[in-house]
Chains A and B, each alone.
Chain A
């Protein structure tokens, strides 16, 4: 690309300051949203005005408060059988959050162990593990999840299991790539020259150097897990009703879209907000921890 001849100093300074402020905003806002989510999930019984499964047939399909006909008793309206949408959204946070934490814990551990082993040991172990990873990545996981739901029946643990089966491969691939690079690094060669055992090398020299990408990946996968859980619940292969999950709430509203849009709208908005925050936070952490990746 071509070079501009004249320089506008003030403009450059201004833009770097703007960049700094916006970079702080991309941390503060998403972090605040996620923190709020955690608090809401923990204190759901205190925050929610009604029990999430309380049916009130007399108060069916009430619109949210800011729409004509809505009342402050149900700020976000009620659904087909009179359950309070706000309460259900609040309780839905519990499902989303706990599923995310569990799945990320499981997938990150499996992926890291397999990735380090494949990357550092190389050879046939690596070839085999990576072939399995490739197949797992190329396979539409939603079908496996549906298959599992048919076999085991939909439920909380089925969802955790299904998303874990879908989610470990990206970790394994990322960590394996990092481990492969590190294996060739001079400091690992140095460790071998000194006589360090493979186990010590993997734990002390390789693992600490993959923590950064691991954290980035984990943060970025919050979004993936929540979206997948929601999609499965929406399809009926996830959290079964009446337990409120954002996904099955959107599904509840699908056929009432022409008359009671709020049933689907608010849980979807919650998903979007949380996923957006997870993605932004992940990007921010990546920028901080791994300047190499900043360009993208």
Chain B
């Protein structure tokens, strides 16, 4: 059922992009140089399959996609797929490490904030979260470079290679991701702590430690999990920005390089690939959901 819906969504997105591509004007415009003749244009049209009817064009577009063929870059004249595959590991390593760091911190600080409300620690964490939500990520990154790389020269300002190169990008990403995630954990934890079954757990005489980390946390995770899709979207957004600030050779950087040179197939390819990943992530979330919440597990059986 879920798979079916994901499949439908994929078709929807592919149609949307297809329409966007065609609606954006005559694709031959992109190839046309001032010296191209009418015949040249017609030739390009045939080469691109533009002489065929629209549904057939869409079919070709989709079958190409299904075979992993995302077209060819206008500038580099290389298959888009190759370009993405080449850059992907960098993005994954950056996104994954940032995600793990911020998730762990969010859980820890969120729970702490909810259980020690209005203490010095809670207020400190809240203050950082407020700053994190207000200051633009790219600016924070630049200022971090200024302080840590230019003045103190502790860390490299940009690029990849050593573990030290990870520190600033991951920290900026975490600064960007953490507030939202932490707020989610904190507020859902507060909701749960207010519930009757937590009261009952305390009536049983359970120590606070068990009440919170066993009874409350598992229920409190359900709400943030519904937002996992959004967190993933945030992760990609963060990656695009961070990669650009730190000259990190990932797909975020690639997409902006393509934007600058108006290399349409590359941007389109990245968007499509991300769409597929988004759907996969959401499927994964559904599975995890069922693991945490027995109500859903039993419904589907």
The short answer to whether A and B are in direct contact, CB under 8 Å, is yes
A residues neighboring B (CB under 8 Å): 1, 131, 134-135, 137-144, 146-147, 149-152, 223, 227, 230-231, 234-237, 247, 250-251, 253-254, 257-258, 261, 264-265, 267-268, 271-273, 275-276, 279, 295-296
> Given A147-B268, A257-B146: A134 and B229 within 8 A (CB)?
yes
Q: Are B271's CB and A147's CB within 8 A?
A: yes
- Which one, B64-72, B96-104, B160-168, B258-266, is touching chain A? B258-266
In the A-B complex, list the 6 residue pairs whose CB atoms are closest, starting with the nearest.
Answer: A268-B139, A138-B229, A140-B236, A151-B24, A276-B134, A296-B187
The 6 listed contacts between A and B (C-beta, < 8 Å) are A135-B13, A139-B274, A149-B259, A230-B139, A250-B142, A253-B142
Q: Are B136's CB and A230's CB within 8 A?
A: yes
Q: Are B133's CB and A268's CB within 8 A?
A: no
Q: Are A235's CB and B134's CB within 8 A?
A: no
Chain B residues whose CB sits within 8 angstroms of the CB of A247 once the complex forms: 136
Q: Are B256's CB and A143's CB within 8 A?
A: no
Q: Are B138's CB and A150's CB within 8 A?
A: no
- Which one, B32-40, B51-59, B238-246, is touching chain A? B238-246
Chain A residues whose CB sits within 8 angstroms of the CB of B267 once the complex forms: 143, 146-147, 150
Q: B154-188 toward A: CB 8 Å interface, digit per residue (1/0)?
A: 00010000000000000000000000000100110
Q: Are B142's CB and A268's CB within 8 A?
A: yes
- Beyond the given A140-B233, A150-B262, A253-B142, please list 15 additional residue pairs across the A-B interface where CB-CB is below 8 A: A131-B5, A138-B230, A143-B271, A146-B240, A147-B17, A150-B264, A151-B24, A151-B25, A250-B139, A264-B142, A268-B136, A272-B135, A272-B139, A275-B135, A275-B136
Binding site secondary structure of chain B: helix
Q: Are B139's CB and A137's CB within 8 A?
A: no
Total CB contacts across the A-B interface at under 8 A = 148
Q: Are A140's CB and B24's CB within 8 A?
A: no
Q: Are A231's CB and B150's CB within 8 A?
A: no
Across the interface, A146 reaches (CB within 8 A) one of B9, B21, B134, B255, namely B255
Output the nearest chain B residue to A283 by Cβ-Cβ distance.
B130
> Given A272-B134, A276-B130: A142 and B237 within 8 A (CB)?
yes
Q: Are A137's CB and B229's CB within 8 A?
A: yes
Q: Are B236's CB and A142's CB within 8 A?
A: yes
B residues neighboring A (CB under 8 Å): 5, 9, 12-13, 17, 20-21, 24-25, 130-131, 133-140, 142-143, 145-146, 150, 157, 183, 186-187, 190-191, 194, 208, 229-230, 232-237, 240-241, 244-245, 255-256, 258-260, 262-264, 267-268, 270-271, 274-275, 278, 281-282
Q: Are A235's CB and B241's CB within 8 A?
A: yes
> Given A147-B271, A151-B20, A265-B143: A140 and B259 within 8 A (CB)?
no
> Given A131-B9, A143-B274, A151-B24: A271 and B237 within 8 A (CB)?
no
Chain A residues whose CB sits within 8 angstroms of the CB of B150 once the complex forms: 257-258
Chain A residues whose CB sits within 8 angstroms of the CB of B24 once the complex forms: 151-152
Across the interface, B259 reaches (CB within 8 A) one of A134, A235, A267, namely A235
Q: Are B143's CB and A268's CB within 8 A?
A: yes
CB distance from A14 to the nearest CB of B (A): 14
Q: Are A135's CB and B136's CB within 8 A?
A: no
Q: How far is the CA of A205 from the CA of B69 in the complex (A)?
A: 53
Q: Are B142's CB and A235's CB within 8 A?
A: no
Output the nearest chain B residue to A275 by Cβ-Cβ distance.
B134
CB distance from A23 to the nearest CB of B (A): 14
Q: How far is the CA of A178 from the CA of B262 in the complex (A)?
A: 42
Q: How far is the CA of A271 from the CA of B140 in the complex (A)?
A: 11
CB distance from B118 to the nearest CB of A (A): 9
Chain B residues whose CB sits within 8 angstroms of the CB of A258 once the complex forms: 146, 150
Q: Are A236's CB and B136's CB within 8 A?
A: no
Q: How far is the CA of A272 from the CA of B241 in the complex (A)?
A: 17
Q: How far is the CA of A142 from the CA of B137 in the complex (A)?
A: 14
Chain B residues whose CB sits within 8 angstroms of the CB of A144 once the complex forms: 271
Across the interface, B237 reaches (CB within 8 A) one of A135, A137, A140, A149, namely A140
